[in-house]
Amino acid sequence: MIVFVPFSKTLPPPLGTSPSTLSFPLRYIAKHTPLLVYKTSGAPTFTVGCYVPVIQEYADLLPPKATAVLQRESLHYKRKNPEENYLRFPKYYCAENDLFMFFNPVKCQWKVISSAEMHTTHSVKACSEMPTRVIFPPLVSWQTYFDVKIQIPSAESSEIDHHLAQQGIDLFVDRSFPPDARSIADRTRKGVQGEVRWYRAREIHDSDYPVNLFDNISSSDIVQGGLGDCWLLAALAVVAEYPSFIPTYTFHQSCCNLEGRYQFNLFDYSKGSWVVVEIDDYIPCYPKSAYAEMPIPRFSQPNGNEIWILLIEKAFAKMTGGFMNLKAG
């Protein structure tokens, strides 16, 4: 029996629907979300693994044969080769098994194949029922004799991290500002009371909607937490009144990334000059309850599914030597 995990309440689009007509949450998730594929019973198959979206944002993490698909996609928009129309739809690559997952818009069917070219002869490892009205794999009914399960990663992303590590995708951990008590304590080594758990910023969001680095930046994005750094958050709220400033002049990245590495342009008053501060995306949080949908950050908190405020507060904490050094200016 095929098992799949529904995610969105959005009704499936009609046959032949292009990706651009999907609702925004589902369209974003279909393009950016890695997928876990595994067997529900019996012996494992060659399809088991973590499938990473083949998109430009992840080009640095993908092997040459997968980035070549991106190059062909770019050429397809110029040449309009009907045989390669499948390149317009979401596509995935699994380095663990060297397999691709494509959507065939002619047959309205998903396929897991061993080739980077679906329009040429290839070996099929798994496929969905035909025709399917959904162009997002976790919402698809897969043929029963393949007995596979495709799942969107849950808020707890340690499993996805494990699969990515198996594929040789190194998740960034900032050893100079590590996710432990040393990064919280101030210059007197005073920390915070209670237990602290570190979660990646991409885990801290309402699972009904995709996580964003930015999404219509405004001062209302910022909620102060248990750290007395209102002086910093108030200043950021003022800057947020000019929505394009922070993405353009402060962040080096324009969207979330799997690697968890972010760089910022910040002014270091002690040096009297601008510096580039690099951090990982581990955020100190309260221990997550078994009934909680997402972790709650100890310090600044996002008002929505944008994570930019979490990251920029951490960048300032690193520049000053610890989160507690931000207290009271």
Using the CB atoms, write b or e for 247-267: b if 16+ within 10 Å.
eeebbebeebbbbbbbebebe
Provide the pairing of β-strand 3-4 with 148-151: parallel
pLDDT of residue 4: 33
pLDDT at 72 over 50: yes
**pLDDT tens digit sequence for 140-167:** 777 766 666 666 554 345 656 666 666 6
User: Where are the chain's structural domains?
Assistant: 3-166, 181-326
Question: Which pLDDT tens digit goes with each residue over 199-258?
Answer: 888 888 765 566 788 888 988 888 888 888 899 999 999 999 998 999 999 999 988 877
Instruction: Provide the pLDDT for residue 9.
Output: 31
Report if pTM > 0.75.
no
pLDDT at res. 198: 92
Q: Which positions ≥6 away from 16 have C-beta within 8 Å?
A: 105, 108
Torsion of CA 52, 221, 245, 204, to 10 degrees: -20
Q: How far is Cα 291 from Cα 226, in angstroms, rounded to an integer?
A: 22
Nearest one of 261, 271, 113, 248 to 200, comparing CA atoms: 261
Higher pLDDT, 168 or 203: 203
**Higher-confidence position of 157 and 92:** 92
